[in-house]
């Protein structure tokens, strides 16, 4: 989870991602941030995030992102 928080801070600094919810819904992360985030996650965790997985529910919190990463790692 610490890696997720570090990546979020690199992509979009200045937020407390450990407690923040609604990252997409509140427009804290915009489309360009999400593209950067997806790229960083794929590199860091050696996963492939399909377009079908790029939905707000998977990116609205650090916990949701972590669940997505774990799911994709288990499927690999």
Residue 34 lies in a domain: yes
User: Could you read off the pLDDT of 4-44 as tens digits, one per residue?
Assistant: 999 999 999 999 999 999 999 999 999 999 999 999 999 99
Local structure of 37: helix, strand or coil: helix
Residues 6+ apart with CB under 8 A from 26: none
Local structure of 41: helix, strand or coil: helix
Residue 46 lies in a domain: yes
User: Could you read off the pLDDT of 36-70 as tens digits, one per residue?
Assistant: 999 999 999 999 999 999 999 999 999 999 999 99
Residue 15 lies in a domain: no
Band the pLDDT of 76: cuts 50, 70, 90.
Answer: confident
Residue 26 lies in a domain: yes
Residue 58's domain is classified under what CATH number?
1.10.1200.10
Q: Which domain holds residue 55?
A: 2-10+21-75
* Count of structural domains within the chain: 1
Full-prediction pTM beyond 0.85? yes
pLDDT confidence of residue 69: 98
Residue 16 lies in a domain: no
pLDDT confidence of residue 52: 97
Q: For the chain, what is the largest distance between any 2 Cα atoms, rounded to a whole number of angstroms?
A: 33
Residue 29 lies in a domain: yes
């Amino acid at each position: 989870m610490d890696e997720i928080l570090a990546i979020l801070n690199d992509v979009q600094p200045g937020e407390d991602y450990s407690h923040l919810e609604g990252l997409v819904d509140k427009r804290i992360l915009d489309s360009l941030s999400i593209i950067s985030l997806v790229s960083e996650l794929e590199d860091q965790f050696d996963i492939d995030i399909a377009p079908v997985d790029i939905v707000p529910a998977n990116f609205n919190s650090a916990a949701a992102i972590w669940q997505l990463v774990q799911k994709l790692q288990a499927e690999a």
